[in-house]
Chains A and B, each alone.
Chain A
Amino acid sequence: MNDVSRVKPRPLSPRLSIYRWQSTMIASVVHRASGLVLVLFVPLYLWLLHGMTGSPEDFVQVQSWLHSGLGKLSLWVAGVALFFHYCNGLRFLSIDAGWFEQRRMLRLSARIILGMTIFVAVILGMLL
């Protein structure tokens, strides 16, 4: 186990302030951030599920909340986070399987997924 006094002077591993910002690093950081967002969405999803399968009045209430500003924003944030986390997760799995391991492909795939996420964010924003 760690001896805190010994460990203290050493830097924390993913030091965001010292790494050069590049697409692969951004993809990794956003993967963590979107994962955190999705975890926070779980209690909300449970509440929605509970309401939607409850009485007809509950269903109407949940429907109107979903169509309110906050509801739309929640759906948008969760949708965009899910899209990125999903695509980048598949990217991570394929890298683990030994595909797209060249540096050029790592960067290109990260850029493509980040670009697609921005596109989806705009489209979803217009649709909701």
Chain B
Amino acid sequence: MRLVKEPGSARSGFRDWYMQRLSAVVLAVLLPLPFVVLILVYAGVVDQFGLLDIVDHFVSRLLHTILIFALIIHAYMGLKVMIEDYVPAISWRVTLIGGMLVMMSGFGIWWMAIIWAWGG
């Protein structure tokens, strides 16, 4: 593969590009689901028991977990490209990307803890 002048932190470029698309396909299938549930709760169509029935289900937990992984990969790749485009100073880039990774890992762990803790 021909080396580009400024490959950023992606090294090969293709892998990041591919992961961004792969996670996008997963999100395209899964992401509308929680938003629909949120709107149903907002509209009063689903009450708390209904909501717990939905989110407590093993399949929901599994799908939610896949969603979290795809979301973190997609958001990380997307924000990283934005930081690399608009932040020229390498010290700031490293700080921002590193901080972003820590934040996303933290939220990912917290999210997983919430999901798998339901119903004991």
Binding site for B on A (CB under 8 A): 1-2, 4, 7-8, 12-14, 32, 35-36, 38-39, 42-43, 45-46, 48-50, 52-53, 56, 59, 63, 66-67, 75, 78-79, 82, 86, 89-90, 92-93, 96
- New contact pairs (20) apart from A36-B82, A43-B107, A53-B114, CB-CB < 8 Å: A12-B85, A12-B88, A32-B78, A35-B79, A36-B79, A39-B75, A39-B79, A45-B34, A46-B107, A46-B110, A49-B114, A52-B48, A53-B51, A53-B52, A75-B38, A86-B32, A89-B28, A92-B24, A93-B21, A96-B21
**Contact partner of B38 among A13, A48, A56, A89, CB < 8 A?**
A48
**Contact partner of B48 among A1, A56, A79, A82, CB < 8 A?**
A56
Binding site for A on B (CB under 8 A): 6, 21, 24-25, 27-28, 31-32, 34-35, 38-39, 41-42, 48, 51-52, 55, 71, 75, 78-79, 82, 85-86, 88-90, 107, 110-111, 114, 118
Name the CB-closest residue of A to B6.
A2
Tally of A-B residue pairs with Cβ under 8 A?
A: 77
Minimum Cβ distance to chain B for residue A66 (Å): 5
12 interchain pairs, CB-CB under 8 A:
A12-B88, A32-B82, A39-B75, A45-B38, A46-B114, A52-B51, A59-B48, A75-B39, A75-B42, A82-B35, A86-B32, A93-B21
CA distance A36 to B25 in the complex (A): 19
